[in-house]
Structure 1
């Protein structure tokens, strides 16, 4: 069984992307290298991480953190798992600010945990990206995007491109000077040339979208010989 390391060589990724895509390279040099993510090597609990992802959905960071703190106080633990969440009833969780849909998602997450359906961190090390996504998206409230964020930011997988992410789509729109946001399918096709470092390309696309929204950040001059998309 293959083992998938956590994290990747960002200098190698930078060089690869600069060779493959001149337009992206111009922005990358303008924005500078994005350093390695230190938490790629930090251990984490997949169940707890998924529970927190559920609680953070569609809320500002501050509001979500407040709700998480209330839940932790109610269950008497900073570990969100089936056994700790079972310490309180639904009404108590609702009183912490957990919405009805998120409450159902947390209970479904607990059922999947109890059934042994959530792979451990050790097991994930032997699973490819598609297998991890397939294992987790059946959980209520956990969509493909949520799992892709775990793959990129917690497991350090190098070749993930969240094609439904609005920020990444905006980044490609700016990168290619498109009149409208690209579709998920068009984005997937556009990103084929960035493999096997599509995660690192995504980090830059988020930065490009942010920079383009700031009038203080001019777009880089495109290379004179650049033709087509790359």
Structure 2
């Protein structure tokens, strides 16, 4: 099994996309160091962060023990989850068929579930102009996606499995924190009981509890600059 001696550097904001990665790192039980990115203060637009995440979005990681022992930076939460699962050989199935199923639900989250809920949240809560068509459109699509998730979880339950793609995997890591605030997306309590049971079951995993408790504390800017400089010279 792969071991990790130097901590993985995680550029992090406590959002659903950020928590995907703390959940993965806690579940994998590998050392990591948080570099807080205060998106309200514009930290995501600094040249130092751009060197790690060219899309100026969190999360991003730098693994000082990447392929062939060389540092590697990775941005986009789905790519990070796949990298970590493949490197450490956990939470990504044991066969090609299992990995295909996990990929389906991982990409379902990054391509649809997260973006649609994000749009729903934006137009319902933050848009300066309330546009009824946009609010209704994204609310309805969010509700549909929760129904899709519940249907999949029911299928897995019927097969004697507890998680989205069978056994617990990076698909669950990706979906969970986006799903927690389901009542804000037009879903009523008790409407999707299989989904709610999964949410509770997954949320009670010790590693998930630890991941959700990660504190967001600013670190000196010089530390981030020093690390980014090191990485750019690799």
Scaled by the length of structure 2, the TM-score of the pair is 0.28
Structure with higher strand content: 2
Q: Tell which has more relative contact order, 1 or 2 (C-alpha 8 A, sep 6+).
A: 1
Scaled by the length of structure 1, the TM-score of the pair is 0.29
Which structure has the larger Rg?
1
